[in-house]
Amino acid sequence: MTTNDAPRPIGINLPSHAEDPDPEETREWLDSVDELISHRGEERATEVLQHVIQHARVADLHLPDSLMTDYVNTIDVEDQPEYPGDLRLEKEVRNAIRWNAAMVVHRAQRPGVGVGGHLSSYASISNMYEVGYNHFFRGRDHEGGGDHVFFQGHASPGIYARAFMLGRLSQEQLDGFRQEVSSPDGIPSYPHPRAMPSFWEFPTVSMGIGPVNAIEQASFDRYLHNRGLKDTSQQRTWAFLGDGEMDEVESRGALHIAAKEHLDNLTFVVNCNLQRLDGPVRGNGKIMQELEAQFRGAGWNVIKVVWGSGWDPLFEADKDSALVDLMNATPDGDFQTYRTEDGAFIRDNFFGRDPRTKALVEGMSDDDIWWKLNRGGHDTKKIYAAFKAATETKGKPSVILVQTIKGYRLGKTFAGRNATHQMKKFTEADLKSLRDTLNIPLTDEQLLENGLYNAPFYVPAEDSEAMQYMRSRRDSLGGVVPQRPTEEVTLELPGDKAYEVVKRGSGKQEIATTMALVRLLKDLMRDKEIGPRWVPIIPDEARTFGMDAMFPTAKIYNPDGQNYISVDRDLLLAYKESPQGQIKHMGINELSSTSAFTAAGTSYATHGLPMIPFYIFYSMFGFQRSGDFFWAAGDQMAKGFVIGATAGKTTLAGEGLQHMDGHSPILAYTNPGTVIYDPAYGYELGHIVRDGLQRMYGSDETRLQEVFYYITVYNEPYVQPAEPEGLDVEGLLRGMYVLEEAPQGEGPEVQLLASGVGVPWARHARAILEEDWGVRATVWSVTSWTEMRKEALEADAHAFLHPEEDVRRPWISQRLDGVEGPFVATSDYDYLVPDMIREWIPGRYGVLGADGWGFSDTRPAARRFLKIDAHSMVVKALQMLVQEGKVDPSTVAQAIEKYDLLNVNAGESGSFGGES
């Protein structure tokens, strides 16, 4: 393959304008298209051109990629709207914010602090934010309800700086940047609602999460509107993203959802400064062109803002499109380099590559080339035109691709440099240069009188035109952004009747805890007060979970309705889609499902409308696959129920290594926003769900309410007992309670602890121990190993730090006072799960664990292989009794032989079948 035949990078493959063999003929065809649009309209012109393209394909013509347009602005200069703002005052405000944003980071590098930060991201995106703040971002007091703005995480210093100028943040808070613990006024490095609950709304800095969450936020707004729960027709979601961030698979992986749902209330703004953290995003290619093709192919409206107004006269003079061809052929790596050099370098190395383009700038000085020929992302008028076009687009989401310079206006040592993302402080010369560039009215003495790292912040006088303008623009748009309300919003919760279905058990019918939970959900969704607020979220496993019975009544949400003849339309449980559907059926897509959970679970804050998401999924594909999204949900203070169905290492019989979950409670435990339960029976579920609703949505609640519940349920059917008389509800909710007391009589005693599907094994082990060995066993149903551990650690931490006070004993220690060991624990999870409470067990503690890779087999065989079943509990109990000298040492070997413990086919713990 010759050099000329080698494939070219994406974005550098458009046909040349200047090499057209017959430009007059081409012009005639283009004029014909213009006439068609003018006389018959855009819709008819689109139809005709589609027929032409199809005809060309039938004729086997080679059609070039049509998803990319020239490397120029989408909106022609003659189509730009009149700018509605005061450019002079906006620049004055913008310069002050730029200065203060830089000082936030620079001052944080003072001796004894040195906590880092990022200067260059906000420098590149400042113009875009200010156009948004002055003309588009609607605050919460707007009559339409306010916009949702996902800010680019690394640009947070600029958002803080603007809030400081408006009096929302103090100088002490700015000086507490990245010092959340060491400073009494500390603020976080990035947008974190959990750390700054009245300020930030959306966490964004974990790359790739913001795009998916923004899509689902816009989708949820439409969901609320279509269901008649809230008028969201004037609310828009904005997501500000980086071009480097778009390499995250998640960033582009959900684009089709926004197009499929016609989310014209959604705008992505991609800051294309052409740089990642270490170097170019596409040194050899063109990231804007690549993104244009992908977004357009996914069904989005694409608007490119590439060049500033200084280029307009050159384009006007570029009659043969030589300049456009040159722009199309120039890789990003070169464009980045140009802004680190000077006007002469650009003249020689860009314009000088073609005599026609060189002639275009003959009348311009090198300084003119450097200062006047700017990137589109630093041109307020160009940005405004793009934002306006996006907000007026109907029927599809919009993406605005904006070319900028990373480190813009920070000085030549910053702008466009590969290391600029890591540069955090200024020299004295840098400070003076930045002050002069931004026209900040500080003398050299004022600048440095308190030392290099205490250069002052600057705010214009409150009665100045600039400050009055700044405030008036926000007042006209509904107030400050970002802002998150912290007022408590509660719900009227259902009474006892809603929980009767699980309290009475299943009679003789064997059902799984998944089915018991689904039955409970159906009754809760019938409640007059909270019924409409439930948001079932399912990633394409409803039938597995027994939720297909909800299809005909609750219906599946689809903004387009159901415009086809359903194959099961005559069945009782027909698949039914509707714009008013209550079920968010996400397809095979756990990441978007988690984002939908987040949008619904934070509706109490974003809309003042508490909703109750019920997100159910294969437990293996929850925290393991989308743990980062759950972390963001916790940061955003989402509430609701997360259901790990088909849980356990052995319970999902036959599925194998990738499906068998032995560790989701461990992963969930690492998320501080989760409350985790592993119930065995339906009545336990009833109490857990009821307490969860009270904690998250009830009034007069003293516990932290901004949590979500992770509940594991299983697909193994067994009889669900009725709720026992005198049930220890407090113990159930705190983590464990006595399910079966030890038999009366004499003989050694042992405590059997189990959770989830392990509880029936413990009850079987109890019977075996009594019948075969005369050992009396108490069975404890452990509903939450993790909640007991959390409470015990809190008690220990309090005792550690307050030695002068009476020792605060953990609840588990109090509960086990006087309880005679040894203790044996099992579950369908890894050893680490029951081992979480070892430190507080008052005696020998033997743990059985389902460690290792999952595998396909029957439940009894799998449990015997892993030695977690009833007979393994028996042998373990006997071993520990031997260690305590309470039974004969030969007993253990006898039991192993008696129960054929090494034979996996001798296992008895578990039933067969059962999908839900």
Across 668-682, average pLDDT: 98
* CATH at residue 846: 3.40.50.920
For residue 801, tell me if it sits in a domain: yes
pLDDT reported for residue 3:
44
Model pTM? 0.94
* Block residue for tokens 């069945």: 571
For residue 560, tell me if it sits in a domain: no
Examine the fold and report which residue of 35, 69, 103 is the final residue of a domain before the chain moves on.
69
For residue 855, tell me if it sits in a domain: yes
Mean pLDDT score of the chain: 93
pLDDT tens per residue, range 694-705: 999 999 999 999
> What is the total count of domains within the chain?
4
pLDDT tens per residue, range 540-589: 788 888 888 899 999 999 999 999 998 888 887 889 999 999 999 999 99
772 and 715 within one domain: no
For residue 484, tell me if it sits in a domain: no
Confidence of residue 64 (pLDDT cuts 50, 70, 90): low
Virtual torsion, Cα 634, 638, 644, 645, nearest 10 deg: -170
Confidence of residue 916 (pLDDT cuts 50, 70, 90): very low
Q: Which among 276, 269, 281 has a CA at the least distance from the CA of 121?
A: 276
Domain residues for the domain of 501 are 497-547+583-719
Give Cβ neighbours of residue 640 (< 8 Å, ≥ 6 apart): 535, 597, 600, 601, 611, 612, 613, 614, 615, 696, 708, 709
Lowest mean pLDDT among 504-508, 531-535, 911-915: 911-915
d(CA 694, CA 444): 60
pLDDT tens per residue, range 477-528: 999 999 999 988 999 999 999 999 999 999 999 999 999 999 999 999 999 9
506 and 359 within one domain: no
pLDDT reported for residue 423:
61
For residue 433, tell me if it sits in a domain: yes
Across 371-385, average pLDDT: 96
Tokens of 86: 């005061």
- Strand pairing partners for 780? 738, 753
Q: Are 771 and 855 contacting, i.e. CB atoms less than 8 angstroms apart?
A: no
151 and 60 within one domain: no
Give Cβ neighbours of residue 210 (< 8 Å, ≥ 6 apart): 150, 153, 202, 204, 239, 241, 245
pLDDT reported for residue 116:
87
* CATH at residue 653: 3.40.50.970
54 and 193 within one domain: no
| 913 against 614, higher pLDDT | 614
Question: Secondary structure of 487-528 in the HEC alphabet?
Answer: CCCCCCCCCHHHHHHHHCCCCCCEECHHHHHHHHHHHHHCCC
pLDDT tens per residue, range 630-665: 999 999 999 999 999 999 999 987 788 888 899 999
Examine the fold and report which residue of 719, 746, 768 is the final residue of a domain before the chain moves on.
719
509 and 402 within one domain: no
For residue 824, tell me if it sits in a domain: yes
d(CA 396, CA 363): 43
d(CA 397, CA 568): 33
Give 164: exposed, middle or buried? Use CB within 10 Å, 0-12, 13-18, 19+.
Answer: buried
535 and 467 within one domain: no
pLDDT at 417 over 90: no
Q: Are 517 and 643 contacting, i.e. CB atoms less than 8 angstroms apart?
A: yes
772 and 652 within one domain: no
pLDDT reported for residue 23:
83
Q: Which among 116, 83, 119 has a CA at the least distance from the CA of 98?
A: 119
For residue 856, tell me if it sits in a domain: yes
pLDDT tens per residue, range 792-838: 999 999 999 999 999 899 999 999 999 999 999 999 999 999 999 99
642 and 746 within one domain: no
d(CA 268, CA 303): 10
363 and 452 within one domain: yes
Examine the fold and report which residue of 661, 693, 719 is the final residue of a domain before the chain moves on.
719
Residue length of the chain:
916
d(CA 840, CA 217): 43
Give 211: exposed, middle or buried? Use CB within 10 Å, 0-12, 13-18, 19+.
Answer: buried
Tokens of 595: 């984002």
Q: Which among 682, 671, 684 has a CA at the least distance from the CA of 736?
A: 684
Q: Which among 687, 686, 643, 673 has a CA at the least distance from the CA of 661?
A: 643
Across 743-752, average pLDDT: 95
503 and 387 within one domain: no
Give Cβ neighbours of residue 505 (< 8 Å, ≥ 6 apart): 681, 682, 683, 719, 720, 721, 722, 723
773 and 692 within one domain: no
520 and 467 within one domain: no
pLDDT reported for residue 424:
63
d(CA 156, CA 189): 7
Across 112-117, average pLDDT: 91
For residue 563, tell me if it sits in a domain: no
d(CA 242, CA 269): 8
